[in-house]
Amino acid sequence: MSSAYSVLTPGQVVWALSPELLLLVTGLLILGLDAVHPHKEEKRWLPHLALGGLAVALLGAITLWGCNTRVLAVLSCDPFALMVKIVALVAIGLVVLLSEVYIERHSARHQGEFYALLLFSAIPICLLGGATNLVLIFLAFDFLSISSYVLTGYLRDDPRSAEAGVKYFLYGAAISAVMLFGLSWIYGLTGSVELGEIATVLPKLEGNTQNLLLPALAFVLAGFAFKIAAFPFHQWAPDAYEGAPTPVTAFISVGPKIGGFAVIVRVLLTAFSPHTVVELAGNWRVALMAISILTMTFGNLVALWQTNIKRLLAYSSIAHAGYVLIGVVAASTQGIAAVLLYLAAYAFTNLGAFASVIAFSNQTGSDEIAAYAGMHQRAPGLALVLIICLLSLIGIPLTGGFVGKLWLFSAALEEGLLALAVIGVVNTVISVSYYWKIMRAMYFDPPPTEEQVVVSPALGVAMGVALVGIFALGIFPNALLPLLDAAARVFF
């Protein structure tokens, strides 16, 4: 954090906050316009307005590239934060595309709320990318959580959706309190909520007080692990994923993970950096390594038994959080660059996979893997997209998933974490078998009917964008290398 404390003019502050402000304005506009016509069922323009807002916010984030300063003393506007914002905004744009037909079909009356909530949940993810203050981190975390709970229970007439929302809420509320407790300890021990100041105070603390930081850090890590659905704090994920409306499942499998990893990286590498507090950093690295190993192994092993594709993708997303943690444990420039690349590749891949799942269930109404039998005859294009996404989730060359895994594992090897890399590779091999289950059903099982599956234009666009993303990251990752490197260097 070499940036100077320069005072920005109000204009510059507004510019630096433009992505968040634009999202807020668009969200409020959607709510307002939706309220002006409360009884019109035809609301095609709502998702388009949401997409427009996201696009302008994305533009704002891109024009800010290169800026490296503090905003309002609680936010950092640096390449890492902007990278997180760009990935998050693109991902949520894809979620809007995924939602269009599904939401119109299932809850035509309350579409405005849905898109407004989706935009409002993009704000905390953007804030989490740059937050350098424990209070702001907690507020943004809860902001993100609350909008996710509501979105999960969005189909309120559907008991499964409501149950998923309540489960997610109860689990999240408890974890949120635990995390706040941990944050209060950190504040009590260091006398500051500012990550930069904590970093300067920590090395000066006596040994005894430093030991007290361990339980505090454990509580805080529990909160972070909940957001990314890492091993002991993952129980909410399968139920929430299965019960939530499928576009929301796609969102909570990507959005909170991006925000969660951004905070994990920033908090651990700024305040508890291995360069300043060697012993403490050694402790959290061991803890995260254990969580990473348990998360990927557990996610992959349980995924083997799943028969519902949403539940299978839920366990697969738990496993993927485990892979990404490898990069955090490595705690090096390569590691953080790999985390960002993997998150981007994972966002495109998972959203592409969910686009196919939604297109399929829009027509057939089923999420069971058995229903995917013979899909290549009923919808050859859709089957192909799903196959490419699954291959990227496995990590087959030419896809973004492959490059992401390659970077993560090589970052681990670079830091001498041979065991972690080996366990990651073994897990990748395990994951092949459950992804293969879907592929086998699609290509080798006979279809129950010959009825063709029709894909809506919005879903088609989403799949196209996802495929372009997957292959761009898979074939030309080096074009992104300088950008990712700049983002990772913020912490070193």
Partner 1 sequence: MLNQFAFIGCFLLVALTFGIAPPALAWLFRPKKPNPRKSQIYECGMQTHGETWVQFKAQYYTFAIAFVLFDVEAVFLLPWALAYNALALYAVIEAVIFIAILLVGLFYLWRKRALEWM
7 near partner 1, rule: CB under 8 A: no
Cβ 112 to partner 1, closest distance in Å? 8
Cβ 375 to partner 1, closest distance in Å? 40
Stretch that binds partner 1, among 27-35, 53-61, 247-255, 291-299 (CB under 8 A): 27-35
Stretch that binds partner 1, among 34-42, 213-221, 396-404, 444-452 (CB under 8 A): 34-42
> Which residues between 94 and 133 bind partner 1 (CB under 8 A)?
none
Cβ 35 to partner 1, closest distance in Å? 4
28 near partner 1, rule: CB under 8 A: yes
Cα separation, 237 vs 242, in Å, equals 8
Cα separation, 55 vs 263, in Å, equals 24
Cα separation, 430 vs 234, in Å, equals 20
Cβ 69 to partner 1, closest distance in Å? 18
Which of 241, 468, 258 lies closest to 352, judged by CA?
468
Judged by beta carbon, residue 4 or residue 36, the one nearer partner 1 is 36
Transcribe 187-241 into DSSP letters. HHHHS--BHHHHHHHGGGS-HHHHHHHHHHHHHHHHHHHHHHT-GGG-THHHHHH
Q: Where are the beta strands (DSSP E) in 22-123?
A: 69-71, 75-77
Stretch that binds partner 1, among 29-37, 42-50, 88-96, 399-407 (CB under 8 A): 29-37
Cα separation, 332 vs 284, in Å, equals 15
Site string for partner 1, 38-67 (x = CB under 8 A): x-----------------------------
Binding residues for partner 1, rule CB under 8 A, total 10
User: Which of 1, 8, 12, 31 forms a contact with partner 1 (CB under 8 A)?
Assistant: 31
Cβ 121 to partner 1, closest distance in Å? 16
Pairing of strands 75-77, 69-71: antiparallel
73 near partner 1, rule: CB under 8 A: no
Stretch that binds partner 1, among 23-31, 168-176, 347-355, 446-454 (CB under 8 A): 23-31
User: Which of 2, 4, 10, 105 forms a contact with partner 1 (CB under 8 A)?
Assistant: 10
Residue 69 is classified by DSSP as E
Q: Which two tokens stand for residue 15?
A: 């510019």
Stretch that binds partner 1, among 32-40, 63-71, 315-323, 454-462 (CB under 8 A): 32-40
> Which residues between 168 and 227 bind partner 1 (CB under 8 A)?
208
At residue 396, φ and ψ (nearest 5 deg) are -90, 140
Stretch that binds partner 1, among 31-39, 284-292, 300-308, 471-479 (CB under 8 A): 31-39
CA–CA distances in Å: residue 391 to residues 163, 313, 385, 400, 402: 32, 13, 10, 10, 9
Cβ 34 to partner 1, closest distance in Å? 8
Cα separation, 226 vs 219, in Å, equals 11
Helix 159-190 / helix 236-243 crossing angle, nearest 10 deg: 140
Cβ 160 to partner 1, closest distance in Å? 20
User: Which of 2, 4, 36, 207 forms a contact with partner 1 (CB under 8 A)?
Assistant: 36
Judged by beta carbon, residue 209 or residue 235, the one nearer partner 1 is 209
Integer-rounded Cα Rg, in Å, for the chain is: 22
Judged by beta carbon, residue 156 or residue 440, the one nearer partner 1 is 156
For 125-138, give one letter per residue: b (16+ CB within 10 A) or e. Answer: bbbbbbbbbbebbb
Query: Of how many residues is the chain composed?
Result: 492
Cβ 141 to partner 1, closest distance in Å? 19
Interacting residue ranges for partner 1, rule: CB under 8 A: 10, 24, 28, 31-32, 34-36, 38, 208
